Amino acid sequence: MAFLERLTAELGSAKNTINSYRRDLELFEDVLKEKISNLDKIKADPIGQRSSKLSQNKQKETDTLKELRDLQLLFEDDLKKEEICNLKKKAKNNSLEAIRVSSEFVREFMALSPKKNKKKEAAYKNTKENVANPNTMRRRLSVLRHYFRFMVSEKLIENDPTKHIYFPRRGSRRPKYLKEPEIKKLIEAARPTLKSSFREVRLYTLVEILYATGLRVSELVGLPIAALERDLSIVTLKGKGGKERIVPLGDPARDAIEIWRDKRKHFIKNSHSIWLFPNDKSEKDEHLPRYVFAYELNKLAEDCLKKKVSPHFLRHSFATHLLANNADLRTIQELLGHTDISTTQIYTHILEERLKKTVQNFHPMAKDSI
């Protein structure tokens, strides 16, 4: 898809971002096809025509179908020259009906919530009780806005149908994290012995680095050896959008890396791999897939904590514990690689709790009211 190629070439978007965009665009296209198919069935069925509200205005029904089919063309990979010319001619006419229909469908798509049926295929439903959460809606709108702006720049449409659709407010869900005793218990359970296997040492090192640095899981498993200073004091890496940042390493993480490097050279097929955590099951020089680490970490957590834990839990734990120990929000923003401070503000629940405790401890009339 030309749009995704442009994201990669011009904006330097990360691979995971590209994959996320691709999934949302493919889902949009699938839902659009289903919508067109359902309208076609209603139109072709005499009983459906009499009972459907759509048939109350046949011309409107026909126009809606026509505009949705034109919208569908914008998502085709191999458009014929004739189809491109027709779309460009239509764009010049600046059809208000086309904008209306497209905008309505985008709003409908944004609110769709996936529900798994018995065959484990995604079935999509949109009711008051079952709508996508605000963060999903924001992501979908962002993807489609970028896509339609690209279509405008290619002169395939005159106006962006998402232009007057506003982003919903962010969800207020608090980040999931582990408490400090839980982190200690997890690390102790992962700590290797002389009899530990190659994978056990690798898991321990991954856990230590992740909690010590708060890296994203893709940044962690994709760490090149060159990202580490000789004395292992800092990690230099490129995060989202190619943004470079420096994160210091503590003693436990440095010790873990030393143990891992000694173990690594005896077990890796490609001893000259550029990756700190190479994929031991691949003949090519590839890094460890993130799903492998996610699976091993969750298994470890279920054994020692009796709960499910994802790598992002440790990233959230890193930030939460720093804030709880009086680190300032700007420093945490830099360490996490957040472009916007508002992203880091999800951790301010710690500040709220601290303020409550301060008032409760020192205000003479607060003990009974808080």
pLDDT in tens, 24-45: 988 988 888 888 888 777 666 6
- The mean pLDDT of 244-267, rounded to a whole number, is 90
Tell me which of 21, 177, 211, 347 is the catalytic residue: 347
Distance, in Å, from the CA atom of 48 to the CA atom of 166, rounded to the nearest integer, reads 35
| 189: pLDDT strictly greater than 90 | yes
**Range from 131-140, 165-174, 272-281, 361-370 carrying the lowest mean pLDDT:** 361-370
Burial class of residue 89 in the structure, from the number of CB atoms within 10 Å of its CB (0-12 exposed, 13-18 middle, 19+ buried): exposed
| 48: pLDDT strictly greater than 60 | no
Q: For residue range 283-309, what is the model confidence (pLDDT) as tens digits?
A: 788 899 999 999 999 999 999 999 999
Catalytic annotation present for 243: no
Tell me which of 145, 149, 290, 312 is the catalytic residue: 312
* Per-residue pLDDT at 253: 95
- The mean pLDDT of 70-79, rounded to a whole number, is 69
* Per-residue pLDDT at 238: 82
Work out the pLDDT band at 170, boundaries 50, 70, 90. confident
Nearest to 218 by CA among 200, 205, 206: 206
* Per-residue pLDDT at 119: 41
pLDDT mean across residues, the chain:
80
Domain ranges of the chain: 2-153, 180-306
**Range from 253-267, 320-334, 345-359 carrying the lowest mean pLDDT:** 345-359
Work out the pLDDT band at 210, boundaries 50, 70, 90. very high
Torsion angle in degrees (nearest 10) through CA of 325, 330, 335, 336: 100
Catalytic annotation present for 170: no
Top pLDDT among 64 and 30 is at 30
Tell me which of 43, 88, 240, 349 is the catalytic residue: 240
Task: Name the CATH code of domain 180-306 (choices 1.10.10.10, 3.40.50.12780, 1.10.443.10, 3.30.700.30).
Answer: 1.10.443.10
Burial class of residue 55 in the structure, from the number of CB atoms within 10 Å of its CB (0-12 exposed, 13-18 middle, 19+ buried): middle
Q: What is the largest CA-CA distance in the chain?
A: 79
* Per-residue pLDDT at 280: 82
Nearest to 250 by CA among 198, 185, 321: 321
Distance, in Å, from the CA atom of 80 to the CA atom of 364, rounded to the nearest integer, reads 77
Distance, in Å, from the CA atom of 42 to the CA atom of 52, rounded to the nearest integer, reads 7
Q: Residue length, the chain?
A: 370
* Per-residue pLDDT at 367: 59
Distance, in Å, from the CA atom of 220 to the CA atom of 329, rounded to the nearest integer, reads 22
* Per-residue pLDDT at 9: 72
Catalytic annotation present for 216: yes
* pTM check: above 0.75: no
Contact of 208 with 187, CB cutoff 8 Å: yes
| 190: pLDDT strictly greater than 90 | yes
Catalytic annotation present for 124: no
3-state secondary structure the chain: CHHHHHHHHHHCCCHHHHHHHHHHHHHHHHHHHHHHHHHHHHHHCHHHHHHCCHHHCHHHHHHHHHHHHHHHHCCCCCCCHHHHHHHHHHHHHCCHHHHHHHHHHHHHHHHCEEEECCCCCEEEECECCECCCHHHHHHHHHHHHHHHHHHHHCCCCCCCCCCCCCCCCCCCCCCCCCCHHHHHHHHHHHCCCCCCCHHHHHHHHHHHHHHHHCCCHHHHHCCEHHHECCCCCEEEEECHHHCEEEEECCHHHHHHHHHHHHHHHHHCCCCCCCECCECCCCCCCCECCHHHHHHHHHHHHHHHCCCCCCHHHHHHHHHHHHHHCCCCHHHHHHHHCCCCHHHHHHHHHHHHHHHHHHHHHHCCCCCCCC
- The mean pLDDT of 245-273, rounded to a whole number, is 86
Tell me which of 216, 263, 264, 287 is the catalytic residue: 216
Top pLDDT among 359 and 82 is at 359
| 186: pLDDT strictly greater than 70 | yes
Q: For residue range 106-163, what is the model confidence (pLDDT) as tens digits?
A: 888 888 876 543 343 444 455 555 677 888 888 899 999 998 888 888 887 778 888 8
Tell me which of 140, 287, 315, 321 is the catalytic residue: 315
Top pLDDT among 217 and 59 is at 217
Work out the pLDDT band at 191, boundaries 50, 70, 90. very high
* Per-residue pLDDT at 369: 53
Distance, in Å, from the CA atom of 89 to the CA atom of 157, rounded to the nearest integer, reads 9
Catalytic annotation present for 338: yes
Top pLDDT among 60 and 209 is at 209
Backbone angles phi, psi at 222, to 5 degrees: -100, 20
